[in-house]
Amino acid sequence: MIDRRRRILKAAGALAGGLAAGLLKPVLAFAAAWNKEAFGAKTPADALRSIGAAAAAPSKDILIEAPQIAENGAVVPIEVLSNIPGTKSIAVLIEKNPFPLAARFDFMDGALPFVKVNVKMGESSDVRVVAEAGGKNFTATKEIKVTIGGCGG
């Protein structure tokens, strides 16, 4: 029992030492998927261009569930389901936010393309959802009215 505990502590210490020394860099695995240009875009058009969805076609197969009126823009719940076969990603844009691209999710083959996310909204705005499937982009929008802004306003 004591010997087992010592082995676990040694392994934990070696792992911590490796992380501290920079030998193990788990954060780099996530950094590859970060699209800094898209998330830093200041207009919806720039954000859409950065994710390759500037010419997204409207679709009724993207379902957006969100309140029509959000009493507090600091926390606005949004649920998105794509019924488009082979959906690979879903992006959520808040058109009047200072940085419109609020979230982007990538899906593996066979995964249910459903997301539930809380976003901040500074003012009433259209919420645009873009789904990528079969090498094409599809979009749907929903207007949400905000009574109290949540982006510092």
Q: How confident is the model at residue 34 (pLDDT cuts 50, 70, 90)?
A: confident
Residue 28 has pLDDT above 60, yes or no: no
Q: Is the pTM of this model over 0.85?
A: no
pLDDT tens across 11-21, in order? 666 555 555 55
97 Cβ contact list (under 8 Å, min separation 6): 120, 121, 122, 125, 151
Domains, the chain, ordered by start: 1-32 (no CATH), 35-146 (2.60.40.2470)
Q: How confident is the model at residue 31 (pLDDT cuts 50, 70, 90)?
A: very low
Phi and psi at 61, nearest 5°, equal -90, 0
Element (DSSP H or E) covering residue 14:
helix 2-21
Stretch 111-118: mean pLDDT: 96
- Residue 29 CA to residue 100 CA, distance in Å, equals 25
- Residue 100 CA to residue 89 CA, distance in Å, equals 17
pLDDT tens across 66-84, in order? 999 998 899 999 999 999 9
Stretch 97-119: mean pLDDT: 94
Residue 48 has pLDDT above 70, yes or no: yes
Tokens of 94: 């808040």
